[in-house]
Amino acid sequence: MPDNSNRVAECRRLATEARRMADAARTPAEKADLLQVERRWLRLARSYEAKIRAPSQGKPHRKGRAKD
């Protein structure tokens, strides 16, 4: 499974591709759909970036081993 920095790069690449396709769209509806796809890829990229900045967020911190 790729790490989050690779995921960010891939999401951004796909967002760029969606924007390129939107710019070449033949209808306003097609363009709107592709711009929405671009926004979703960028939102996903931001979520991965947040995980990179705070990798332990949401995970309980454990010191040592639990005693029986």
Residue with tokens 């960010």: 8
Element (H, E) at 12: helix 4-23
Domain boundaries along the sequence of the chain: 4-53
29 DSSP 8-state letter:
H
Arithmetic mean of pLDDT, 18-36 = 98
- Is the pTM value of this prediction over 0.85? no
φ, ψ for residue 53, nearest 5 deg: -70, -35
pLDDT per residue over 36-51, tens digit each?
Answer: 999 999 999 999 999 8
Task: In whole angstroms, give the CA distance from residue 14 to residue 59.
Answer: 29
Give the model's pLDDT for residue 68: 45
